[in-house]
Amino acid sequence: MKKTALIMAGGRGERFWPKSRQSLPKQFLNLTDDGKTMIQLTVERILPLVAMEDIYISTNRDYKALVQAQLPGIPEENILCEPMGKNTAPCIGLGAVHMKKKYGDAVMIVLPSDHLIKYTSIFLNTLSDAADVAEQGGDLVTVGITPTYPETGYGYIKFQPDSVRGRAFAVERFVEKPDLETAKDYLATEQYLWNSGMFIWKVSTILDNLNAFLPETCAGLRRIEEAIATPEEQAVLECEFAAFKSESIDYGVMEKAGSIYILSGSFGWDDVGSWLAVGRIKKSNEFGNVVSGNVVTVDTKNTIIQGDKKLIATVGVHNLIVVDTPDAMLICDAGSAGDIKKVIENLKICNRTQYL
């Protein structure tokens, strides 16, 4: 069966401010040393498994031009523009009806556009195994990440070690972000994986499940499907999306569905959740600094500096994140990277939209 991919690129992430803005979210940023953006790396990574013309990008229509500029090989009709964000269930459903219209049925690989993966061949093998399970059993399949430490910022998925299909385990349940003690317990059992947001299923499977658990959304999706390539397509899309309930695929389908399988992945996954990730991804110098741009450091340690044209001189600072852009600069303690959103809240309150 044909393999397709839906790369979800509608996020408006704020955790990479000031580099990321509402007009340039994280998936369109180059955060690595190789000069490619996150979404470019995501597409490139999947190409041995899915042909370029079978890759779909779902995004907000505000970002269509960015997608076209960064991914000139993706056919324009494969860029699915949501009129507004309604979380992942409508997003995935939109992808599914487009694929149904074109292919009848297919194995559909759903991927976030803004994660990094170190070991591509292992990643592709895992997806290939997942596709086999999805195609043969007609089940919902996901890839979980083998946890390496008790992270409290991710959801976890518990699997049943004695219920195996191919290289997959049956999922016992999805769990929300745990507290630290619970996360430690999860790790100790060796039966929990991190929820990576990667899904593999047949188009027919996910549409059946949407019909079962989100019937109103599914009815709307069918109306969108009928309008594809007609003069009414855009109007129907607008109308149905406006009516959709905002719902995640996890909550709307996965946590309710009966038969879900999971493959555990150990392929150097990183969700690049904050500027701290840059310290993990890029090579640091002998002082633990990751420095780019026009920078002079004196007695500076374990510091991430993303400089720009302006000369940045640091003296006697440790564990700092410094990010310069033409109009805004962030100076953040490494332990406070999660509080960058407070800057954005402040800017919103003050209506300083030019910086958002």
Binding site for a second copy (CB under 8 A): 17-18, 296, 298-299, 310-318, 320, 322, 324, 326-333, 335-337, 339-340, 342-343, 346-347, 352, 355
Which one, 216 or 339, has the nearer CB to a second copy?
Answer: 339
Which one, 262 or 322, has the nearer CB to a second copy?
Answer: 322
Which one, 239 or 343, has the nearer CB to a second copy?
Answer: 343
Nearest distance in Å: CB 291, a second copy:
13
- The letter for the amino acid at 290 is V
Which one, 200 or 332, has the nearer CB to a second copy?
Answer: 332
CB 161 within 8 A of CB 264: no
Which one, 121 or 354, has the nearer CB to a second copy?
Answer: 354
Q: How far apart are CA 43 and CA 56, in angstroms?
A: 10
CB 332 within 8 A of CB 16: no
Which one, 23 or 346, has the nearer CB to a second copy?
Answer: 346
Nearest distance in Å: CB 287, a second copy:
14
Which one, 286 or 327, has the nearer CB to a second copy?
Answer: 327
Nearest distance in Å: CB 109, a second copy:
37
Q: Which of 47, 170, 168 is nearest to 109 (CA)?
A: 47
Which one, 246 or 285, has the nearer CB to a second copy?
Answer: 285
Residue 332: CA count within 13 A, CB half-sphere: 26
Nearest distance in Å: CB 318, a second copy:
8
Strands 116-117 and 269-270: what pairing? antiparallel
CB 84 within 8 A of CB 245: no
Nearest distance in Å: CB 32, a second copy:
23
Nearest distance in Å: CB 272, a second copy:
19
- The letter for the amino acid at 32 is T
Whole-number CA gyration radius for the chain: 21
Nearest distance in Å: CB 295, a second copy:
10
Helix or strand (DSSP H, E) at 169: strand 168-175
Residue for token digits 């996360």?
Answer: 183
Nearest distance in Å: CB 337, a second copy:
8
Determine how many CB atoms are found less than 10 A away from the CB of residue 306. Answer: 24
Q: How far apart are CA 259 and CA 209, in angstroms?
A: 11
Strands 107-112 and 192-202: what pairing? antiparallel
Cis peptide upstream of residue 18 (ω within 30 degrees of 0): yes
